[in-house]
Structure 1
Amino acid sequence: MKRIPLLLLLAFGACHLSTDKKHIAASADIQLLLDCYADLKTDTLLVTTPGTLEDSSSVYHGKLIDTTLLTLLPPEFGPSSDPYYACFKFNLDNNTIGLITRCPDEYASSSIKLFVYHRQGNTITFETELANTWGDAGDFLDKSSILYRTTGKEWMGIIENYVGSEATPADSTTLGFESFDYYHVKWEHQRLDTVSRDSSALTDIFRRISPGADKKVVTLQQ
């Protein structure tokens, strides 16, 4: 009878040690993933899908992420026939790191998404798609974003979503159309919130900021 408490203690110790090893391994893998990303060196950034995905000179070409690290992403993301690319990382606040990542979409790795690494909890969440471009049978989408840090050191962004369909032959009843929608987002309370959908007001702001963001020099630090 006296040996039972000792056995229980040893069993508890073994389980605890196993958990610690798993946590340490996960932390090491997270660091390997973070090291794939270049440090963002600007407070304003225009996010667009590269015109040519194979263009290695584009700042959004990114660095290929090893498939063994994809298990660190949320469950809905993972190995695909098209690869994932690490683009930029930046501190959203003291606890979180934004990870701008080029991901597979229906046709190619054209979708640039924002993932967030939470130091507390050692987890990665998906927040939103920042940019994408595709066309199919006359339908098209062209999404881009501007991320910027306010004077109060808060990260915000404006997402432009341009969708449409080309006009069909004259004997068809289907007409072409196009639509611009804008979303104003803000990082707060450990998540990305939409603070405005007023496209009429956001259009001018996006256009005004966009040229300046496009001309900014983005310094990469691998």
Structure 2
Amino acid sequence: MRNVFFILLLLSLSGCDTQQQEANANEAATAASPPLTFGTSYDQLLAKFTEINFDTLAVSPPDLENGDSPFMGIGLDSAMTALFPKEISGVDSSFAISKFALDADNTALIARVPGDYWSNRIVLLVFNHTRRQLHFKSDIAYNWGDAGDWETINSWLIRTKDNTLYQLTDDTSGSIEDGVEPEKAESIVSSEYYLLHIKPEITDTLSKDSTSLLQTYGHLLRARQ
């Protein structure tokens, strides 16, 4: 009886050892497996964007009438715009402008996409190379006007020596007084400034204190006025 007990014990230990070996082998195989890829479509999209390097980059809505803006870009077909994030996906008349490294695994893209009336909305996107994902970050330039109301967004992308990226934005809007003859009407204009910290994962709003930002970045903001 004792011999039978020892035989069963040895078989049990052997089975546990085999299961552990299989688990270790599966874990090693999983670790050795290459990451999933989703074709070369994203690579083709990124190739349309021109590599740039800067400390401070001023971004303004393009002058579509004259077509002499540095933010006109290269046209993208529908297969490429289908890769855009949901905030701007499935749109025609989109253009690749420029790209720059945000860090070792993320590339920032500047693109021109349709706004309310024309393709004059400039946006910032970030592509993560490991996850093969493209994310919307922020609007960096835009303008529109309708029946006496208007809005213009200008931004500055600022990179520090440690490659931290900030976005300083001037959002200025105006309107014409209602019920007043056009030649006598006055334009009511207001400006709001805000500062963003652009990170691969999130976008942090650092300040919406327009007075403080004007004091700190007046050399940039006043240049637009």
Pairwise TM-score range, normalised by the shorter structure: 0.7 to 0.9
1:11-59 Cα deviation digits (max 9, x unpaired)? xxxxxxxxx9x8342xx1001100111111222100001123560x321
Query: Does the aligned pair in 2 maintain the 1:160–1:181 contact within 8 Å?
Result: yes
TM-score under structure 1 length normalisation: 0.76
Of residues 130, 143, 153, the one that matches 1:120 is 130
Question: What is the deviation of 1:95?
Answer: 1.7
AA aligned opposite 1:23: T
The structure showing larger relative contact order (alpha-carbon pairs under 8 Å, at least 6 residues apart) is 1
Question: What is the deviation of 1:119?
Answer: 1.3
Q: Which runs of 5+ in 2 are unaligned?
A: 1-33
Partner of 2:42: 30
Moved beyond 4 Å, runs of 4+: none
Query: Does the aligned pair in 1 maintain the 2:137–2:198 contact within 8 Å?
Result: no
The range that moved more, 182-191 or 159-168, is: 182-191
Q: Which runs of 5+ in 1 are unaligned?
A: 1-19, 215-222
Of residues 116, 124, 146, the one that matches 1:136 is 146
Query: Does the aligned pair in 2 maintain the 1:146–1:206 contact within 8 Å?
Result: no
Of residues 109, 113, 117, the one that matches 1:107 is 117
- CA distance in 1 between partners of 2:161 and 2:42 (Å): 31
What count of residue pairs does the alignment treat as equivalent? 188
Question: What is the deviation of 1:170?
Answer: 3.1
Question: What is the deviation of 1:198?
Answer: 0.8
Classify the secondary structure of the residue corresponding to 1:153.
coil
Question: What is the deviation of 1:166?
Answer: 1.4
Query: Does the aligned pair in 2 maintain the 1:53–1:110 contact within 8 Å?
Result: no
- CA distance in 2 between partners of 1:205 and 1:65 (Å): 38
Of residues 151, 155, 160, the one that matches 2:165 is 155
Change (3 A) 1:59 1:167: same
Change (3 A) 1:54 1:33: farther
1:166-210 Cα deviation digits (max 9, x unpaired)? 123338xx9853211111111236222111111101124443135
RMSD: 2.6
> Percent identity between the aligned chains?
27
Instruction: Pick the structure with greater CA Rg.
Output: 2
Query: Does the aligned pair in 2 maintain the 1:155–1:186 contact within 8 Å?
Result: yes
1:93-152 Cα deviation digits (max 9, x unpaired)? 122111111110110001001111011211001111000011001110000000011133
Of residues 198, 201, 208, the one that matches 1:197 is 208
AA aligned opposite 1:188: K
AA aligned opposite 1:190: E
Classify the secondary structure of the residue corresponding to 2:103.
coil
